[in-house]
Amino acid sequence: MQIDIQKLKSGNIRSLSKFITLIESKKAEHQKEAQELLNEILPLTGKSIRIGISGTPGVGKSTFIESLGLLLINKGLKVAVLAIDPSSPLSGGSLLGDKTRMEKLAQEKNAFIRPTPSSGNLGGVALKTREVMLACEAAGYDVVLIETVGVGQSEYDVANIVDLFTVLLLPGGGDELQGIKKGIIELCDNIVINKADGDNKQKAHDTMVQYKSALGVIKTDRKIGANVMMASALENKGVTEYWDLIEKIYQENQEKIQLKRKRQNQDWLKKLFNELLENRVRANPSLQSEWTKLNDNILNEVETPLSAANKLIHILFNN
Ligand SMILES: Nc1nc2c(ncn2[C@@H]2O[C@H](COP(=O)(O)OP(=O)(O)O)[C@@H](O)[C@H]2O)c(=O)[nH]1
Ligand SMILES: [Mg+2]
């Protein structure tokens, strides 16, 4: 596939779309080509603000992203929205009232909205999303917003490709009620109590106060911010305040953000090495037959697990 990097760099949508198709292709030759191109564009990447937006389905992620996106466009910024495809079987099909299409934002020429496949092979959901994010950065997007599906392991993976991770919550209701794992709250940088409108305003305020005290006790060096605010994505309230806060966090934490990105890269290297190794192990027939034999030995208690594991390593590395 012919992709002109100069054109990509100038923000040509056709080149960007072609590049993304290449990144998402399952064909080995395309993957190789995509990796070569990604290496080539690396110097053009890293300049965007990378934000993950998470929260249970229906909480208002897409509506919030659309409001935020329009705000950013008005500020003269180019915005890419990568939505982990909610219509996939993984998330149980699309939901009633889903605003995934973000119709108003989609009409803006400085907005690029793209669903990313939610079933990944290598690296899970987030690897492809990360590569698409890099392609968008090379094409000059200033902000990349990633909408997650709101459930499961993919949340953790997405948190590990963005600079700041925001969780949207509904007014009232405990964590379990909202289907939010405690771990997600622990790794997020911002909590936004959405739908703080109509009869829900007071409830939203109470929820905000509760989470403020909960966040205060969580300390981890992976977090950059720790703040809780209210918003109404529907009425476009609190969105400006949210962005002001993000900008402030960026200005004050440049070093931390760069360090976080380096750590993420190292985590990815480790994760991908382990996955590739496992794939090779699975594809190695002599190892597989030996594995079955040694497994029997262990079950029959004629050999220790360490002795068996060492034999497998010998086969794998020929020594
Ligand atoms: N009242 C109210 N409704 C909202 C708000 N944000 C989103 N919604 C509605 O909630 C439903 C789900 O929104 P959507 O953005 O698709 O949620 P997502 O699944 O998290 O992406 C839609 O009917 C929205 O109109 C809000 O701030 N206030
Ligand atoms: Mg959505």
Dump pLDDT digits (tens) for 147-204. 988 777 778 888 999 999 999 999 986 655 455 666 777 778 999 999 999 999 999 9
> Would you say the CB of residue 233 lies under 6 angstroms from ligand 1?
yes
Residue nearest to atom 6 of ligand 1 (CA): 60
Whether 131 contacts 161, CB under 8 Å: no
Closest ligand 1 atom to 150 CA: 20
**pLDDT tens, residue by residue, 105-147:** 999 999 999 988 766 667 777 889 999 999 999 999 999 999 9
Could you tell me if the CB of 62 is within 6 A of ligand 1? yes
CA of 194 to the centre of ligand 1 (A): 8
Instruction: Say what percent of the chain tops pLDDT 70.
Output: 87
Q: Ligand 1 mean position to 233 CA, how many Å? A: 7
Q: Which domains are present in the chain?
A: 1-43 (1.20.5), 45-253 (3.40.50.300), 271-317 (no CATH)
CB of 104 closer than 8 Å to CB of 66:
yes
Nearest CA to ligand 1 atom 28: 195
Which of 53, 61, 62, 63 for mutating ligand 1's site (highest number of atoms within 8 Å of CB)? 63
Residue 317, C-beta contacts closer than 8 angstroms, at least 6 positions apart: none
